[in-house]
Structure 1
Amino acid sequence: MGRLRRSRTHRAQRDVHRASRTRARTRDLDQIQLIDLDPKNRAKLEAQALDLEKPGLAQHYCVECAKYFETDVALRSHWRSKVHKRRCKALKEPAYTIEESERAAGLGKEGKRPTTTAIPPPAPEVAMS
């Protein structure tokens, strides 16, 4: 028997989970629905001026995913991918409102307890004959 091979994954990386939490995040679905998918804003995003700081000079942008691509070929390939299709399907559902989130957390009007406890009326007795 020889020595067992040690795992070589994540070498010299102290906390793998922390690294994944601090990655750059894309925009949330509700931000995209309320801001980017508006026809005026969408036209501005699709026809952006040249920007040297952004990938592909900001000429190849997917509005639904809020991502820049280097080339037009990469953008077209992205449009055919599962990631883009899933994102489009998720964007078709209505966005959560603040009221819905408060109700889910128990802070809405329906979640509050009544100030007085109501005593239920007694059940009517059924006479047997």
Structure 2
Amino acid sequence: MGRVRRSRTHHAQRDVHRAARTRARTRDIDQIQLIDLDPKVRAALEAQPIDHEKPGLGQHYCVECAKYFETDAALRSHWRSKVHKRRCKALKEPAYTIEESERAAGLGREGKRTSTTTAPALLPVQEDVHS
């Protein structure tokens, strides 16, 4: 099985190519937390007008996953799936802020001294005087 077996392997190129594709990319978690989970925006997303360009005419939309589905049955089965439940669990955690990301990269203010801070002054030593 020398030559035939070697020609069938992908050498991990297939998975790298699939991961780099942006065709099936959905919205990021922080975008959903900041925009879509707002009650007014959520109500507008769940009651969209009919759009012939979207799957299922735009009537079956999962707000948490930012996906359209063809039928109501497909949407209901999606709600019971592990993918949806993982996404909902991830949305419960607070979104990272810019300050948190800078601190994680070592650019925060916690470890740095400011220019107004000086070295602590030494306290005078009190002598023990026996009278």
Q: Same fold (TM over 0.5)?
A: yes
Distance 1:120 1:73, change over 3 A: farther
In structure 2, what is the equivalent of residue 72 of structure 1? 72
Taking structure 2 as the reference length, what is the TM-score of the superposition?
0.76
Q: How many equivalent pairs are there?
A: 120
AA partner of residue 76 (structure 1): R
Distance 1:111 1:51, change over 3 A: farther
> Does structure 2 retain, via aligned residues, the 8 Å contact 1:50–1:59?
yes
AA partner of residue 29 (structure 1): I
Which SS does the other structure have where 1:96 is aligned? coil
RMSD: 2.7
Any gaps of 5 or more consecutive residues in structure 2?
126-131
Distance 1:98 1:57, change over 3 A: same
Task: Determine the C-alpha separation between the residues in 2 that align with 1:30 and 1:91.
Answer: 8
Percent identity among equivalent residues? 74
Task: Determine the C-alpha separation between the residues in 2 that align with 1:32 and 1:112.
Answer: 34
Taking structure 1 as the reference length, what is the TM-score of the superposition?
0.77
Any gaps of 5 or more consecutive residues in structure 1?
125-129
Larger radius of gyration: 2
